[in-house]
Amino acid sequence: MTKEDPSDRTGGDRTYDRRSVLSGAGSIAIGGLIGSSGVASATPGREPGPKTDEIIVGLSSSVSDVVYEAHTCSPDGCEVAHANETIRYATVSIPADASERTRERIFESIRRSPAVEYAESNVTVQSLLEPNDPQYENQRAPRQVNCEQAWETTRGSEDVVIAVVDQGVQYDHPALEGVVDDRIGQDFVDNDGDPYPGRDEFHGTHVAGIATGGTNDGTGHAGISDCSLLAVRALNRTGQGALSDVADAIQWSADAGADIINLSLGVQGSFETLRSACQYAADRGVLLVAAAGNQGVNRVFSPASEETVVGVSALEPDDSLASFSNTGPEIDIAAPGSQVFSTVNGGDYARLSGTSMASPVVSGVAGLALSAHPDLSPTELRQHLLETAADVGLDEMEQGAGRVDAAAAVGTDPSGDTGNSDDSGNQDGDTDQDEGNPTGQCGNETVTASADGSLDGSSWWGQSDRYGYQLHTTNPCSATVALEGPADGDFELYLTTDGRSPSRWDHDQASTNSASNESINLTLDGDEVLGLQVHAERGAGQYSLRLEERGR
Return the bridge partners of 481, or none. 520, 547
Mean pLDDT calculated for residue range 57-77: 83
What is the total residue count of the chain? Answer: 552
- pLDDT band of 313, cuts 50, 70, 90: very high
475 or 163, greater pLDDT: 163
Whether 184 contacts 18, CB under 8 Å: yes
The structural domains of the chain, ordered by start, are 39-122 (3.30.70.920), 126-414 (3.40.50.200), 432-551 (2.60.120.380)
Work out the number of other CB atoms within 10 angstroms of the CB of residue 450. 14
* 86 pLDDT above the threshold of 60: yes
List Cα–Cα distances, 414 to 40, 74, 128, in angstroms. Answer: 41, 51, 32
pLDDT at 264: 95
Please name the amino acid found at residue 208.
A
* 354 pLDDT above the threshold of 80: yes
- pLDDT band of 4, cuts 50, 70, 90: very low
DSSP category for residue 20: G
The dihedrals phi and psi of 371, each to the nearest 5 degrees, come to: -65, -40
Whether 261 contacts 281, CB under 8 Å: yes
Instruction: Give Cα 436 to chain centroid, integer Å.
Output: 42
Mean pLDDT calculated for residue range 169-189: 91
pLDDT at 527: 84
Whether 552 contacts 503, CB under 8 Å: no
Least confident span in 35-44, 117-126, 199-208, 281-290: 35-44
- pLDDT band of 34, cuts 50, 70, 90: very low
Distance CA 385, CA 395 (A): 18
Least confident span in 55-59, 95-99, 197-201, 437-441: 437-441
Query: pLDDT tens digit string along 89-117?
Result: 888 888 877 787 888 888 888 888 888 88
3-state helix, strand, coil in the chain (%, to 5): 20, 30, 45
List Cα–Cα distances, 177 to 6, 104, 182, 199, 209, in angstroms. Answer: 14, 48, 10, 19, 10
* 14 pLDDT above the threshold of 70: no
The dihedrals phi and psi of 377, each to the nearest 5 degrees, come to: -75, 165
Burial class (CB in 10 A: 0-12, 13-18, 19+), 99: exposed
Which are the catalytic amino acids? Answer: 166, 203, 356
pTM across the whole model: 0.61
Burial class (CB in 10 A: 0-12, 13-18, 19+), 358: buried
Helix ranges (DSSP H) in 468-508: none
How many H-runs (helices) and E-runs (strands) does the chain carry? Answer: 12, 26
358 or 242, greater pLDDT: 358
SS3 300: coil
Distance CA 528, CA 419 (A): 12
Return the bridge partners of 290, or none. 263, 311
Query: pLDDT tens digit string along 451-492?
Result: 888 888 776 567 888 888 888 888 888 899 999 988 888 899
List Cα–Cα distances, 489 to 31, 111, 394, 516, 520, in angstroms. Answer: 49, 24, 35, 6, 19
195 or 505, greater pLDDT: 195
pLDDT at 41: 35
> Which among 377, 526, 505 has a CA at the least distance from the CA of 442?
526
pLDDT at 47: 67
* 516 pLDDT above the threshold of 90: no
- pLDDT band of 216, cuts 50, 70, 90: low
List Cα–Cα distances, 366 to 101, 267, 404, in angstroms. Answer: 47, 24, 9
Complete DSSP assignment for 113-144: STTEEEEEE-PEEEE--B----------HHHH
Return the bridge partners of 327, or none. none
Distance CA 543, CA 549 (A): 20
The percent of residues above 90 in pLDDT, for the chain, comes to 36
- pLDDT band of 127, cuts 50, 70, 90: low
The percent of residues above 70 in pLDDT, for the chain, comes to 82
Is the Cα torsion angle 414, 420, 426, 428 positive or negative in sign?
negative
Strands 309-315 and 287-291, by their bridges, are: parallel
Whether 67 contacts 91, CB under 8 Å: no
- pLDDT band of 219, cuts 50, 70, 90: low
List Cα–Cα distances, 390 to 44, 72, 314, 387, 399, in angstroms. Answer: 50, 54, 14, 9, 10
Distance CA 312, CA 332 (A): 6
Whether 168 contacts 207, CB under 8 Å: no
17: Cβ contacts below 8 Å, ≥ 6 apart: 172
318: Cβ contacts below 8 Å, ≥ 6 apart: none
H-helix or E-strand containing 348? strand 348-352
* Cis peptide, bond prior to residue 303, ω within 30 of zero: yes
Distance CA 541, CA 484 (A): 11
pLDDT at 289: 98
Least confident span in 197-201, 419-423, 485-489: 419-423
